[in-house]
């Protein structure tokens, strides 16, 4: 049993995690955040386009004694975003936290990129956060008197390296975060952003990654190791907790120091 200082204001609260599923039993950023929040006593709605993936996250949470439900939804669809928020409030009675965790990658310059792909990346990586936040924020104000939001960006927003459309979308996430923080501070809502580095997650290794490539990614860090979904999940939990009660509009880089070193063009997006 955790005391009030240990749960840091997370116990009894309700979180909506978009992109909270992952392949198999792999630990992606969203799944890690959902599990860690549930361990602190937060009730979690795990949303994913594929219901089975979200359901597996719920099973993992329930197995540890936590409370969670799964829901399917395409967060690039405004109706689905509203439905996810409605489901969360109807089931749990309130909504305190949002982890905007959905994203896709892309490679190439503005010359090489297809306009259709550019629009799709911006839709998934930026518009999804805009749409979900549009319905989450009023629900937070009405049911909880405020709350906290974390948007997931990338170090590619800070150090472009041949992934122009992806970098642009993730830079937009930072701008959206800072603007939302200004707009909704008066509503007692904090909004922050995480920029992960080279995390070894199901989204990355599902595409296939050699041990040599993993080693290169690890060497890019000043700590000489790669990150995992747990590293991002812990950062999400911190920013949603009362430990971060006076932090808003900020960008937390979780990259093992990768951005402290000279950039190298790589084939895998972060």
What residue ranges define each of the domains in the chain, with the CATH number in brackets?
A: 11-255 (3.40.50.720)
Write down the residue that tokens 């990150």 correspond to.
227
Task: Name every residue whose Cβ is closer than 8 Å to that of residue 110 and which is 6 or more positions away in sequence.
Answer: 164, 165
Supply the residues annotated as catalytic. Answer: 166
Helices and strands in the chain, H and E counts: 10, 9
Distances from the Cα of 23 to the Cα of 26, 101, 136, 167, 229, angstroms: 6, 15, 26, 25, 13
**Are 270 and 221 contacting, i.e. CB atoms less than 8 angstroms apart?**
no
Task: Name every residue whose Cβ is closer than 8 Å to that of residue 119 and which is 6 or more positions away in sequence.
Answer: none
Q: Digits of tens for pLDDT over the chain (270 positions)?
A: 344 446 799 999 999 999 999 988 999 999 999 999 999 999 999 999 999 999 999 999 999 999 999 999 999 999 999 999 999 999 999 999 999 999 999 999 999 999 999 999 999 999 999 999 999 999 999 999 999 999 999 999 999 888 999 999 999 999 999 999 999 999 999 999 999 998 887 767 666 677 787 778 778 899 998 899 999 999 999 999 999 999 999 999 999 999 998 765 544 444
What are the backbone angles phi and psi of residue 58, rounded to the nearest 5°?
-60, -45
Distances from the Cα of 95 to the Cα of 48, 91, 136, 241, angstroms: 18, 10, 8, 14
In the chain, at which residue ranges do the beta strands (DSSP E only) sit? 14-18, 43-48, 68-72, 97-100, 147-152, 189-196, 199-200, 227-228, 251-254
At residue 255, the pLDDT reads: 96
Task: Name every residue whose Cβ is closer than 8 Å to that of residue 208 and which is 6 or more positions away in sequence.
Answer: none
At residue 205, the pLDDT reads: 66
Report DSSP letters for 40-91, one per residue: TT-EEEEEESSHHHHHHHHHHHHHTT--EEEEE--TTSHHHHHHHHHHHHHH
CA atoms within 13 A on the CB side of 112: 8
Count the residues in the chain: 270
């Amino acid at each position: 049993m955790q005391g009030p200082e240990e749960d840091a204001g997370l116990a009894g609260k309700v979180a909506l995690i978009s992109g909270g599923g992952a392949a198999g039993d792999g630990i992606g950023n969203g799944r890690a955040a959902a599990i860690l929040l549930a361990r602190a006593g937060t009730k979690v709605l795990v949303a994913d386009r594929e219901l089975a993936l979200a359901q597996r996250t719920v099973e993992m949470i329930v197995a540890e004694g936590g409370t969670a439900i799964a829901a399917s939804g395409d967060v690039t669809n405004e109706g689905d975003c509203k439905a996810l928020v409605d489901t969360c409030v109807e089931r749990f009675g309130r909504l305190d936290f949002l982890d905007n965790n959905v994203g896709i990658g892309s490679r190439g310059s503005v010359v090489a990129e297809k306009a259709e792909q550019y629009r799709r990346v911006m839709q998934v990586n930026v518009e999804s956060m805009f749409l979900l936040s549009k319905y989450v924020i009023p629900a937070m104000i009405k049911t909880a008197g405020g709350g906290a939001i974390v948007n997931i960006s990338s170090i590619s927003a800070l150090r472009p390296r041949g992934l122009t459309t992806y970098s642009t979308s993730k830079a937009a996430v930072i701008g959206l975060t800072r603007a939302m923080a200004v707009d909704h501070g008066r509503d007692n809502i904090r909004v922050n952003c995480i920029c992960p580095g080279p995390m070894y997650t199901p989204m990355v290794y599902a595409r296939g990654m050699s041990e040599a490539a993993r080693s290169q990614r690890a060497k890019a860090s000043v700590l000489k190791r790669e990150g995992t979904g747990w590293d991002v999940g812990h950062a999400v939990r911190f920013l949603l907790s009362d430990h971060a009660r006076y932090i808003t509009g900020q960008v937390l880089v979780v990259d093992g120091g990768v951005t402290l070193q000279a950039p190298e063009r790589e084939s895998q997006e972060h």
